[in-house]
Amino acid sequence: MKINKKLIQNFLTIRYDPENQLANLAKWQDFTTKNSDLDGKKTEILLKKSVKYSIPDDEEPLAISLSSGIDSSLCLALLRDVFPNRKITAICGVFENGNDESKIAKKIAEKFSADFKTVYMDSIFTNMPEIISISKKPRWNTYNHLISKEAKKHSNYLVTGDGADELFGGYTFRYQKFKQLSKSNDNWVTKVKKYLECHNRDWVIDQNLLFGTNIQFNWETIYNYFKPYFQNKLEPIVQVMLADFNGKLSLDFIPTGKAIFNHYKIHGIPIFLNSNLIPFAQKLPLNQKYNETNFKGKLILRKIASRLNVRHIEEKKGFSPSLLFDWQNHGKDICQSILLDKKSQIYEKKLINFTWVLNAFEKIDSDGDIRYLNRIISIFALEIWLKLFVTCEMKSTKKFS
């Protein structure tokens, strides 16, 4: 396999490749206000139609990825509303020392007469070859593949809440921070820089020093990827929503999800990403998605959830590992054995700067800097990807201890 240096630069800076021509990206005009749904009833109808049209009306059991947040809880309520007698298995993932939503999720499952399964997730470092082999890309955010693996035992269909955040205003922490950083006279470049500051776990201050001599890193290249999202007539926060829809959703979460579904031969059903619902939701006004005064988002979904008697927690963290805990208990030794070896492929091919890696290890040790930890994990994933798909010296079944 030929190494795409631009792809590596992008994956290690923004976690996805904006030059992916297969993604169905939105234009800024798609997010201009045209629709209205004050009580959420139009959205509710579209969601129920999405469920009906996506899943055959038969007796086959269904599975759903369930946390305790509004997206997946609402999905379960809609499933039960459309299919009142169907067997549904709800699956919740839990990482050691991570945010555990399983107790609340179990109560939500019981409320809507669904069976409940908890999946205990292993260290992301131990199973990195398996994680990388699923997407066939140097990314490590496929650790939730274990949800699909469990789901396949119960059904050929896995319902998810993917897309709700991007379409209905779920990233309230990002909108709030972006507004705090922004000024009315900001040009598009300044807006992009401030948007990237709202995603600052994906890069570090000395990002230009991270790469080896075979990758000519340039911030201007990165900024230009986001130019269409911030040089237009949309409101600033709607510009953020457009960037999130095209970036994190269309270029990261969707292809990652599809890779997982294909791997386990299961039908992924993201009911918020129905072809009729997407253009309707995109054109809803900002004030029906996000309240800029109290910083609450998903306003329409909250109204639907209230009608369906769905109880959910306000702040959902989802199936995410406790990275620093995992690093201290597993990752540090594993990564040091690979990344402090100058014969590793990332150095042999001059893709990564060995001195930067040394300094990053020291920085993580001294103050637990999560941004540098994220970069080290991404570099570790790159090395595993190279050994799996370029030099073919490693098998996906390899486990680290």
Q: Whole-angstrom Cα distance, residue 298 to residue 147?
A: 25
Name 116's bridge partners: 90
Nearest to 351 by CA among 218, 210, 201: 210
- In the chain, which stretches have pLDDT less than 70? 313-320
In a domain, 13, yes or no: no
In a domain, 57, yes or no: yes
Instruction: Say which residues have a Cβ less than 8 Å from residue 145's Cβ, sequence separation at least 6.
Output: 131, 134, 260, 263, 264
**Which CATH number does the domain housing residue 89 bear?**
3.40.50.620
pLDDT of residue 316: 52
Expressed as residue numbers, the domain containing 63 is 32-169+243-307
Q: Whole-angstrom Cα distance, residue 313 to residue 245?
A: 24
pLDDT of residue 336: 97
pLDDT of residue 95: 85
CA atoms within 13 A on the CB side of 191: 25
In a domain, 290, yes or no: yes
Q: Indicate the Cα dihedral angle 163, 21, 202, 95, nearest 10°.
A: 50
pLDDT of residue 321: 74
pLDDT of residue 315: 61
Tokens of 25: 């990206």
Q: Is the pTM above the cut of 0.85?
A: yes
In a domain, 119, yes or no: yes
Count of structural domains within the chain:
1
pLDDT of residue 322: 83
The secondary structure of residue 235, as a DSSP letter, is -
In a domain, 367, yes or no: no
In a domain, 115, yes or no: yes
In a domain, 386, yes or no: no
One-letter amino acid of 215: I
User: DSSP for 205-243?
Assistant: TTHHHHB-TT----HHHHHHHHHHHHSSSS-HHHHHHHH
In a domain, 312, yes or no: no
**3-state class (DSSP) for residue 119:** strand
**From the centroid of its chain, how far is CA 232?**
26
